[in-house]
Structures are given as C-alpha cells and as structure tokens.
Amino acid sequence: MTLEAEKLMNVPTIPAPATALPPASSEVHVRNMDQYKALYEQSINDPETFFGEQSKALSWDRDFDKVLYHVGNNFSDSPAWFVGGKLNASYNCVDRWALQTPNKVAIIYEGDDAEKGYSITYSELLVRVCQMAQLLQSKGVKVGDVVTIYLPMTPEAVISMLAVARIGAIHSCIFAGFSPGAIKDRVIDSNSHVVITCDKGYRATKVIQTKKIVDEALESCPDVKTVVVINRDPSSPFPQNPERDVIYPDAAASFKSYCAPVPVDSEHPLFLLYTSGSTGKPKGMQHCTAGYLLGALLTTRHIFGVTPDDTLFTSGDIGWITGHTYAVYGPLANGATTVIFESTPVYPTPTRYWDIVDRHKVTQFYTAPTALRLLRQYGHEIIDKYDLSSLRALGSVGEPIAEEIWEWYFNYVGRGRCTVCDTYWLTESGSHLVSSIPGVTPMKPGSAGLPFFGIKPAIVDPVSGHEITERPAEGVFAISQPWPSMARSIFNDYARYQDTYLKPYPGFFFTGDGASIDSEGYIFIGGRMDDVVNVSGHRLSTAEVESSVLDATMDGESMMTECAVVGVDDEITGQALVVFAVCEPWLKDDIASGKKIPQDISIETILIVRKEIGPFAAPRKVYLVDDLPKTRSGKILRRVLRKIVAGEEKQLGELSTLSDPSVVPALIDAVKNQK
C-alpha cells in the first residue's frame, strides 16, 4: 500500500458522529447501522429477494417473472433484471402522483431572474408530457426510436425526456454546452431523426443562440427530419427552417391533455447518454427502464432520504447523468419536488444557491466540489443570513471532495447538522454506488463511505487481475455482482461495452477508477486510471481533445503533426486541460520567419477545441513544442508531461523507456518560456 493510501485510511471519523445527526427524512427508510448491514447482506447474498421486495416501489403494468436472469456467473453474459415485467417510466414519474396529489409541485424552475421563476404541478406536468408525447408520435417517433434533446436546464427538458419515455422511445440528452461538432457526432451515432431544442438559452445575462448551434450541427445530419423548437421568447426571432422545424408549445396545444403511456419491457432502453472514455469516440451508454428507474428511486429515497414531501435541488445539468438521475428520475419517481436551475451559482450574487434553498425550503441539496470551491472563495459570512434549516442532506458528486471543502460544506452550509453524502458513481452505474447514509453510516472525510444495496465492491490488483480480499487494500475499483441500474450496453456496440468494462478484469465490472478500502469497508476513491480528465465534473477523454487539435486547420492547412493532452490540477475546476502540440513544418517555418506568432497559434488552438467540443473543454494552455516524450514503441508518456507542467521535474520517474531522453529538458524549457 502506498503512503498516500495509508494516510487516507488514518483519517479519523469526524467529531460529530452521524448517529447524532438527524436522519435525512422524518420517514426514514433505513434507520440505523444494524438495519443497513442486514439489508446490505441480503441485497448481496439474496439479490432476488431483496430487489424483488424493493421493486414494489414501482408501478408495473405486468409483473415480472424473474428478478435477475443471467447465464453463468456474474457479468459473463448480459444480466437482465425483472424479466417479463412491463412498465412505463413516465407513468411512474408523473401519472401516479398526478392521480394522487394533482396539485403538488413537481418542478420549480429558477433562471437568471428569480422573479421570473415558476412552478409546475404534477397534473400540469402530466398534460405537458402527454401533449409533447403526441406531438412526437405525430412526427413518426415510434417505440425504440432515439430522440436527441439539446436543451438547457428548463422544465421543457424534463417534459421532453418524460414524453419520449412515455411513447417507448429512447432519449439522448446532449449537454447544452456542447458545440455543433459534438452534437453532430452524437446525433449521427444515435441515428436520431428527431431533435428537441429551443430558441435560446440564458445564463448569467448571456444569451446563447441554441437554435443556431443546432442548425449548424444538423447541416451534416441529413437524417434529421424534425426539429421541435421550444420557443422561449416569442418576442425575439430565431433562425427557422419551415420544412423541418415544429414550434412548441403552439404545435402541441392542439393535442389531447391525456394520452396513455406505452408499457415497455423492463430491459427496454430508456435513454442513451454519451460519455467520454479512453478512446476518442464518445460512448452512448445505454440504460434500461426498470433497473435504472429502480436504482434512481431507491438511492434517492434511501441515501438522500427523499419523501414525497421533499424538495430536492440537484444543480447538475440534465446533460449529465447526475441531472438524469437526481434532477429528474429520482425525485419524480419518489413523488417529490425537483428544482431545475438554469443560471450559475454566482449570478446575480454568489449566494444564489442559498437563496434558492431558503425560498423553496429545499430539503436535499446536491452539487459538485467544483461549485463549492468557487463559492468558498466568497467567504461563509454571506451564507449566514440565509435560513438553511430546511436542509437535511448535502450531496457532493463528480470528483473527490477535498477535506477543506468538505468541512466548509458541512459547517457553513449544513451548519453541522447535515450529513455530507459524498456520492461516488458514474454514468455507467446509473445511480449511486457508494455514499454515506444520513443518520445511518458514520462519515469519514476523504471517504465516499460504504456501498449501496446490491453493490459488491472489489479491489483488484491491476497487474494480476485478482481481487485483493485482505483489508485495507488498494487497487482498481471494480464491482463483482450485477446491480439493477448498471448500463446495459454502448449503443449499437456491445463488443465495445465488453471490451471496456467486462474484459479488463474478467468476472468484474471495471469502473475506470482506482480506490482503496479500509478495514471497516470504507471506500476512498483515487481517481481515473485511464486517460479521462475531469474538468468541473465533466468527463473528457484526452483522445477526444487530441483529435480536435489534430483536425485543426489554419489557412486551409493542417496545423499540428502531433499532440498530447494532459489533465493538471486546478484550484476551481479540479482539473484543467493542457495541450502539448508539435506544429506542422509549414507552420514552424512561418513562426521562424516571423509570419506567425506562437501566442496566436496557441490561442487559435484553444478556440478550435472550444468550437469543436464546447467552451467547458477549452484548454488552459497550449504549449508548442518540438517533440513529445515517447517510448520506443511510440506511446506518449503523458505522465512526464503532467509532472513537467506541475513543476515536478525532479520527480519524473522512470525515463529509460523514452526513445529520446533529450526531449525532456527541451520540454521543461518550453514550459518555462511559454508561461
């Protein structure tokens, strides 16, 4: 075990024991550690009985015949959950509450201007979902078709997702920060013929020309025959294509206020969500209906303690899995209220989150460390004037939460009363894998906590591929038993799914992260073991960014012969991207003759990545270098580049595999000279 892992494991339990903290719900579902342990044991040793019982939380159109079906052991063949069952996700999230409590608020919307916020009740939500569903059907959308949604955090994004699910189609949400190139790739890969978008987005007074971005992307997507445009500002024009565009809400208003949901099989795909992996092409992670929905429902209920009386505020965008599971499906499947927030945490003031918690009596607040790091800079005094007493649980997601941020969150936002649920999970897992449970499991700062029901963690030796069973242990974080909300495939590419998750460590589902586990079973996440960089909680593959740099042209000619992208520590965003690029000979000549200035080329490269992938992916710095550190077999040693940027050139480690060691001093000079 490394010193670092040992250090982590010695972190004491925080002074306020969790049992002294209030549970996250007055109607607690898991009451104490003994009950957690008993339920956990059952969920692992007898998942069929456990999840069979838990599945009663969903409404079924047809009961399933078998809880878990798979051939052979573990993951060796696609496990299927709730086989033979039929249900509909939008019925579970909307109808059953609209029938029982029609006037209860389902969605609270907050944008830039708090005065212009509004709420939507469950009965109103049902009408809007039904009308959108019929509009989609009228445009030919059928069971199993993929509909792309490119929308900012608005109620219409939720309505669109649920409308797609209502008719048995599959939604593919694309984060509204993505650029035309990234949208095009995802629309084509998912074979979408229908896209739902809006005229404009609004963030901290900035107006985003959403429709224009989509139009640009769709220039290369001839198969898209319909674009549903949510017209948010009827008073201002936006580019229209009469042959393709359908304007909402006008076009939906003529449909009936109710249409029956289409029951689908448990394993029927509910959505695709594209995420980055080690290789360039983003993967369309495919989630199924019953297992996913149950995972979302149970984690929201048991970890955050959400009941129908609660208001959950998840700041994560619906373009990411956090928004899917904890801003949409989790809260609505539990009949609770969800806050959909379109603006930024610092607009108009850095107290926006606390203001929302206070005004709407938010009971569970869920955000990412990157936002907390930003807000912490403004001091805690500005938080003190808000009444945050409604809060019962605080969630953190996307990256490890550093101890000082954890303490700030716990002390000043939670005021020492709320458990910090450091939730560890990923797009592929569908719902939380590891977290503290308020009032149940004690918190250890630095640790995400204990596994959720049905999650059997394994620490695997990266070299031998064998599970390390002694405790404490450190290695690759894997899961050794199927769980209901795991992604079922990569869209249209099950072989890639197997190669990425099942084959690296046979018998286990590989998460991509390293971790350690202490003698009490507490899990400490170490970070990605592949070439994935986490910028503000957004997963980016270095290969994806590299390919956009390599595709870059200037004056019609390719700019770079090769490049390497690495992630470096960043105070606010957690990690930031740094590019090392080698210019094409013509560009080198132009630089040498003074025709081109290196700074301009660096800026141009940053702009190209912004344009190709999205503003959030903009590299912090582009270094123009003569060569990259490569092994004799041509593999780029990104580790060396990371150390050089971090100023740790004395700790470059083993360099004997480099084909040309003289590149190292040259790189160190380049980084110093291009500060």
* List 112, 267, 310, 399, residue binding ligand 6R9 (CB under 6 A): 399
Q: How far is residue 233 from each of residues 237, 253, 333, measured CA to CA in Å?
A: 8, 17, 31
Quick one: which of 90, 275, 314, 548 contacts ligand 6R9 (CB under 6 A)?
Answer: 275
CB of 499 to ligand 6R9, least distance (A): 17
Closest approach of Cβ 545 to ligand 6R9, in Å?
16
Counting every residue written for the chain, the total comes to 675
Residue 470, CA distances (Å) to 43, 44, 456, 477, 598 in order: 22, 19, 15, 14, 54
Q: How far is CA 209 from the centre of its chain?
A: 24
Instruction: Verify binding: residue 423, ligand 6R9, rule CB under 6 A.
Output: yes
Residue 273 C-beta: closest distance to ligand 6R9, Å: 8
Smallest separation (angstroms) from ligand 6R9 to the CB of 289: 20
The angle subtended at Cα 655 by Cα 650 and Cα 661, nearest 5°, is: 95
Measure the CA–CA gap between 659 and 7, rounded to whole angstroms: 36
* CB-CB contact of 477 with 511 (8 Å): yes
Which residue type sits at 450?
L
Does residue number 341 form part of the binding site for ligand 6R9 (CB under 6 A)? Answer: no
Residues 224-263 binding ligand 6R9 (CB under 6 A) are: none
Burial class (CB in 10 A: 0-12, 13-18, 19+), 382: middle
Nearest approach, Cβ of residue 406 and ligand 6R9 (Å): 11
Site for ligand 6R9 in 533-562 (CB under 6 A): 534, 537, 539
Distance between start and end Cα atoms, the chain: 36
Chain centre distance of CA 604: 29
Strands (E), 174-322: 194-198, 201-203, 206-208, 226-230, 245-248, 264-265, 269-275, 283-288, 311-314
Q: Residues touching ligand 6R9: how many (CB under 6 A)?
A: 24
- How far is the C-alpha of 110 from the C-alpha of 86, rounded, in Å? 35
Please tell me the number of Cα atoms within 13 Å of 424 on its side-chain side: 29
Which of 92, 419, 427, 541 is the binder for ligand 6R9 (CB under 6 A)? 427
Residue position matching structure tokens 């199927």: 482
Q: Which is nearer to ligand 6R9, 123 or 325 (CB)?
A: 325
Token readout for 210 is 């959403």
Angle, alpha carbons 577-583-586 (nearest 5°)? 155
With CA atoms as reference, report the closest residue to 40 among 431, 453, 520: 453
Q: Report helix, strand or coil for 572.
A: coil
DSSP for residue 301: H
Is 93 a binding residue for ligand 6R9 by CB under 6 A? The answer is no
> Closest distance between ligand 6R9 and the C-beta of residue 480, in Å?
17
Residue 60: CA count within 13 A, CB half-sphere? 19
Q: In angstroms, give the least distance from the CB of 621 to ligand 6R9.
A: 23
- Letters for 356-375 (x = contact with ligand 6R9 by CB under 6 A, - = none) are --------------------
CB of 369 to ligand 6R9, least distance (A): 8
Please say which residue, 285 or 671, places its beta carbon nearer to ligand 6R9: 285
Alpha-carbon 672 to chain mean position? 35
- Radius of gyration (C-alpha) of the chain in whole angstroms: 25
Helix (H, G, I), strand (E, B) or coil at 510: strand
Residue 177 has which token pair? 């920060």
Angle between helices 155-166 and 122-138 (to 10 degrees): 60
User: How is residue 451 written in tokens?
Assistant: 């596994």
Segment lying near ligand 6R9 (by CB under 6 A), choices 152-160, 227-235, 317-325, 375-383: 317-325
Between 158 and 397, CB nearer to ligand 6R9: 397
**Of these, 14, 147, 383, 397, which contacts ligand 6R9 (CB under 6 A)?**
397
Nearer to ligand 6R9, 198 or 273 (CB): 273
Contacting residue, 525, 560, 564, 663, with ligand 6R9 by CB under 6 A: 525
Task: Provide φ and ψ at 421, rounded to 5°.
Answer: -90, 100
Q: How far is the CB of 510 from ligand 6R9 (least distance, A)?
A: 10
Tell which residue, 364, 370, 295, 363, has the closest CA to residue 333. Answer: 295
Q: How far is the CB of 397 from ligand 6R9 (least distance, A)?
A: 5
From candidates 8, 321, 332, 374, binder to ligand 6R9 by CB under 6 A: 321
Closer to ligand 6R9 by CB, 105 or 285: give it. 285
305 lies in the site for ligand 6R9, by CB under 6 A: no
Q: Which is nearer to ligand 6R9, 86 or 528 (CB)?
A: 528
Pick from 512, 567, 574, 619 the residue near ligand 6R9 by CB under 6 A.
512
In the bound state with ligand 6R9, the residue whose beta carbon lies nearer, of 111 and 323, is 323
Which DSSP symbol is given to 172?
E
Secondary structure of residue 189 in the 3-state scheme: helix
Under the binding rule (CB under 6 A), the answer on residue 426 touching ligand 6R9 is yes
Closest separation in Å from C-beta 181 to ligand 6R9: 20
Shortest Å distance, C-beta 434 to ligand 6R9: 8
- Of 591, 445, 469, nearest to 521 (Cα)? 469
In the bound complex, what is the minimum distance in angstroms from residue 339's beta carbon to ligand 6R9?
Answer: 18
Residue 188 CB, shortest distance to ligand 6R9, in Å, is 22
Distance of closest approach, residue 525 Cβ to ligand 6R9, in angstroms: 4
Q: Which of the residues 484 through 503 are near ligand 6R9 (CB under 6 A)?
A: none
Nearer to ligand 6R9, 111 or 395 (CB): 395
Least Å from the CB of residue 604 to ligand 6R9: 29
Q: How far apart are CA 589 and CA 447, in angstroms?
A: 52
- Pick 81 or 424: Cβ nearer ligand 6R9: 424
| HSE-CB of 261 using CA atoms within 13 angstroms | 25
| Alpha-carbon span 562 to 556, nearest angstrom | 17
| Residue 287 in the binding site for ligand 6R9 (CB under 6 A) | no
Which is nearer to ligand 6R9, 226 or 429 (by Cβ)? 429
d(CA 483, CA 232): 40
Per CB under 6 A, 424 contacts ligand 6R9: yes
Asked if 169 and 90 count as a contact pair (C-beta separation under 8 A), the reply is no
Question: Does 513 help bind ligand 6R9 (rule: CB under 6 A)?
Answer: yes
Report the residue number, 262 or 401, with the smaller CB distance to ligand 6R9: 401
The stretch among 34-42, 380-388, 522-530, 580-588 that binds ligand 6R9 (CB under 6 A) is 522-530
* Residue 443 lies near ligand 6R9 (rule: CB under 6 A): no
Residue with Cβ nearer ligand 6R9 (335 or 512) = 512
Q: Closer to ligand 6R9 at the Cβ: 238 or 425?
A: 425
For residue 455, which of 470, 437, 474, 435 has the smallest C-alpha distance? Answer: 435
Indicate the residue among 220 and 279 with the shorter CB distance to ligand 6R9.
Answer: 279
User: What is the contact surface with ligand 6R9 in residues (CB under 6 A)?
Assistant: 275, 320-322, 397-400, 422-427, 448, 511-513, 525, 527-528, 534, 537, 539
